[in-house]
Chain A
Amino acid sequence: MNRFWSFLFLLVPIGGVACFVAAPYFNIWLPRDVSEHGRTIDSLFMFILYLTGAVFLVTEMVLFYFSWKYDANTNQEPVKFSHGSHALELVWTILPAVTLLFIAIYQMEAWAAAKMHPPVMDITCEVTGRQFNWDFRYPGPDNELYTEDDLVRTDGKLFLPVNEDVLLKITSADVLHSFFLPNLRIKQDVVPGMDQQMWFKSKKTGDFDIVCAELCGWGHYKMKGQVTFLPRPEYEAKLAAFGVEQNTMRVEVPEEE
């Protein structure tokens, strides 16, 4: 049984690293990223993963080494009667402080880009969360929301142009929801009574999940939507088709202020 326990604690760094190394082989990792800004977020994630991973490995190995070396059953040295070390305390205060501050400052630009500087452009689409659906309202041919020619879609399918900045206005009709696009590294809670904006650019065409990421009631799990990115001509054709469909079906545009 000698030193058995230290080897149990050695399993932590080994297993911890193994889990992250093995995950990609089971096809579990950050989901495919199609957005322009997603690379920044992913690389920041990886940066923190490597940094904390290194600290994790070093501290866990030190823990293993101490628990192995200073096992009372095998350690013949007398106990080191030490109450601490001022110099060491200084080192392990200042070093993490500088590192943490660096991480914080290093993130700021990406955060500002993602949340603080919307592109100057017309709103592409208004997104409204409601129990348990995502509704979309396109401004229509006049490029202005809340006019007669708005296109209202309630089937949970959002169509956006690829390779272009899009500016969404997002809000909620009832409770909190969160507009989460895993493949675009986008997440924003929607709050009733608050109009918010979010913007991104997709580099790829295709269909991607819209997930509700804030508990919104019993149907939270099925509040699923889909965003499709199309090249500009197909996108315009799609909206035109919606316009035709809406006019022939005589769907009334709900009054909203």
Chain B
Amino acid sequence: MSTVTSDTPIAHGEHGHTSSFLKTYVFSLDHKIIGMQFLFSTLIWFSIGGLLALGIRWQLAYPWRPMPILGNLLAANEGGQIAPENYTMLVTMHATVMIFFVIIPILAGAFGNFLIPLMIGADDMAVPVLNMLSYWFMWPAFALIGGSFFVEGGAAQGGWTSYPPLSVIREAAPGSFNGQTLWLMGVTFVGISSMMGSINYMTTIIQMRAPGMTMFRLPMTIWGMFITAILQAFALPVLTAAGFMQLADRVLGTGFFLAEGAMANNSEMASGGGQPLLWQHLFWFYSHPAVYIMILPAMGMVSDILSTFARKPLFGYKPMVYSISGIAGLGFIVWGHHMFVSGMNPMLGMTFMVSTMMIALPSAIKTFNWLGTLWGGKIQYTTPMLFAISFVSMFIIGGLSGVFMAATPVDIFIHDTYYIVAHFHYVLFCGTAMAVFGGIYYWFPKMFGRMMNDSWGKVHFTLTFVLMNCVFYPMHILGMQGFPRRLADPYHYETFKNLLPLNMFISWCAFILVGIQIIFVINFFGSMFFGPRSGRNPWKANGLEWQAPSPPGHCNFDFQPIIYRGPYEYGSPETQEDYYPQTQPPWEATKS
């Protein structure tokens, strides 16, 4: 593998050295600043998405009762009462915000940007301008989707999956009047942003690794980002194309996704000739790989944190790399499992069941290797480590509950019930979001040069860990009863009447869960300004990023990094210390 020669910092030195505030902090080309911009934007959207979720939870606990405090924001014109069309808007926008504005950009945009050059020993991304544009292309999306709340008819109401004809026929739902058009344009901008990021990440990781940083010396975080970038590059064009087709159906009167004669609410008769299921195929061809886009970088970050605080090499590095590659490959042939009861040919259901079962395999391998990493270590229970271990613990639940949905006959019953809601929240909230919290506590010293408060971090962890399980675990039980998702008031059904108390319990836990995040916010901003200085390597970690100054200066490293080994050589017999930085030459190691 070719590696970058030492003249790289000079070649890239020209894009900086500007002093104006605007160029340094706003239209910055520096990957670290862009990473921060992504981080702050996504954290703000994280809180918005969380508030939208509270609206959903209120309605399920107290159907049609005016919602105190937040109701004035979510449903001001109804006096805080969540109208049925508002409820469908809430579920749609909660998912949209969390997926497109939080999880994908916080992993790839925030952590990817900040960490990739630091971890591979580059001074910046391969194409800094593209990098800056990838952030600024998020803003049209923020504006379009954020603004869609205020247009006539309100924001999109077709679910985050936007299944036609509901999303295409303008009269089918209030949110399909204007909101859906803005939604489609917003998601397209997110796609453009992701695409620019993905090209940059691939190029940077392939081309700009420091001398000695071979592919198999890359930390798992970088592997996660790399595979994610490849997934995005191959899957996104399909979503973009499908988005344009749906847009054309809405504004140009084409009929890609409309069957002949379809009409709703006295709309015009559709010109037809299309097939609603086509959208589902195209959408899930992107959105299933996107599920892995939302978890692979998190898995990488967890692997790094686990190894650091177990003070022990990562168990089975290569199997880990192969299994995320396997997930990426298989990820492209399992999309049909979202469509088992959609009307898709049942024969295809069989095929997709087998491929879906098989994709559980690499996830299982990863879980066993994480457990292997803990085995025989000396575990330091720092805040990031607690979040990382909880990721493993929660991912086991999220992974195993997936087997139910993969089994086609069982899926007939639990499809679109709270079982699936429990499943993906275990993967995305209890999994990815916990990894994100862990990652923030872990790399905060590198980002801001100061430590976050560990005791308050542990309080935050403990409360979050307990409460989120109280919120999401009982949803399995709701799903077992057949409780359907996206239903504003399910209690008038005989079958679901008895579920109100459990839903109230879940809702109250959810309210508290969101409320206690204030601990994190205060800790985050307080530590940014008043935290103790961290120095370069507060965790005594091996990773290359910990050899750079904290926070790293403009071209990251104040020396030319040369890499001698992988990032997981903790407790190596070659050195007396319990860690062995990637840049430490073997002849300088303190032998016992």
Contacts and interface: CB of A to CB of B under 8 A. Distances in A.
19 contacts: A8-B462, A8-B465, A8-B466, A23-B477, A44-B407, A63-B389, A72-B379, A75-B379, A79-B376, A82-B313, A82-B315, A92-B365, A93-B319, A131-B264, A191-B277, A209-B494, A213-B484, A218-B84, A220-B488
A115 B376 contact: no
A59 B347 CA distance: 34
B495 A182 contact: yes
Interface in A151-182: 173-176, 178, 180, 182
B397 interface: yes
B173 A103 contact: no
A192 interface: yes
A80 B377 contact: yes
Contacts of B477: 19-20, 23, 28
B353 A63 contact: no
Nearest to B499: A28
Size bracket, chain A contacts: 35 or more
B452 to A, nearest CB: 18
B312 A79 contact: yes
Contact of A103 (B378, B401, B403): B403
A103 to B, nearest CB: 6
A83 B349 contact: no
B357 A70 contact: no
Contacts of A187: 341, 412-413, 415-416
A174 to B, nearest CB: 4
A220 B88 contact: yes
Interface string B375-402: 1111111000010011011101100110
B259 A70 contact: no
Contacts of A63: 371, 374, 389, 392-393, 396
A176 B277 CA distance: 10
B315 A83 contact: yes
Interface in A85-118: 85, 88-89, 92-93, 96-97, 100-101, 103-104, 107-108, 110-112, 114-116
A27 B496 CA distance: 11
Interface of A: 5, 8-9, 11-12, 15-16, 19-20, 23, 26-31, 40-41, 44-45, 48-49, 51-52, 55-56, 59-60, 62-63, 66-67, 70-72, 75, 77-85, 88-89, 92-93, 96-97, 100-101, 103-104, 107-108, 110-112, 114-116, 131, 173-176, 178, 180, 182-183, 185-194, 196, 207-209, 211-222, 224
A9 B577 CA distance: 30
Contacts of A222: 84, 489, 492
Given A20-B476, A59-B367, A218-B83, 4 more contacts: A52-B400, A131-B264, A173-B263, A193-B275
A154 B317 CA distance: 62
Given A55-B400, A213-B415, A72 B495 contact: no
Given A29-B480, A215-B163, A221-B84, A83 B316 contact: yes
Contacts of B347: 116
Contacts of B20: none
Interface range, B side:
35 or more
A217 B502 CA distance: 26
Given A63-B374, A82-B315, A93-B361, A192 B412 contact: no
A209 B493 contact: yes
Given A52-B403, A108-B350, A217-B166, A194 B264 contact: no
Contacts of A209: 493-495
Tell me what chain B mostly uses at the interface: helix, strand, loop, or mixed: helix
Nearest to A37: B409
Contacts of B380: 72
A66 B493 CA distance: 46
B85 A218 contact: yes
Contacts of A221: 84, 87, 487-490
Contacts of A173: 262-263
Contacts of A82: 312-313, 315, 372, 376
Contacts of A55: 396, 400
Contacts of B264: 131, 174-175, 217
Nearest to B344: A189
Contacts of B357: 100-101, 103-104
Contacts of A19: 473-474, 476-477
Given A93-B365, A192-B276, A218-B85, A111 B350 contact: yes
A174 B169 contact: yes
A224 to B, nearest CB: 6
Contacts of A80: 312, 375-377, 571
B371 A96 contact: no
Contacts of A207: 494
A37 B286 CA distance: 34
Contact of B396 (A60, A174, A190): A60
A176 B166 contact: yes
Contacts of A213: 415-417, 484
Contacts of A216: 166
A28 B498 contact: yes
Nearest to B311: A79
Given A16-B397, A131-B172, A174-B165, A219 B572 contact: no
A194 B378 contact: no
B254 interface: no
Contacts of B368: 88, 92
B552 interface: no
Q: Which 10 A-B pairs have the closest CB atoms?
A: A193-B259, A80-B376, A84-B316, A79-B571, A218-B85, A174-B264, A115-B346, A182-B482, A110-B409, A221-B488
Contacts of B172: 131, 174-175, 217
B145 to A, nearest CB: 18
B448 interface: no
B484 A211 contact: yes
B341 A178 contact: yes
B265 to A, nearest CB: 6
Nearest to B277: A191
A59 B360 contact: no
Interface string B245-260: 0000000000000111
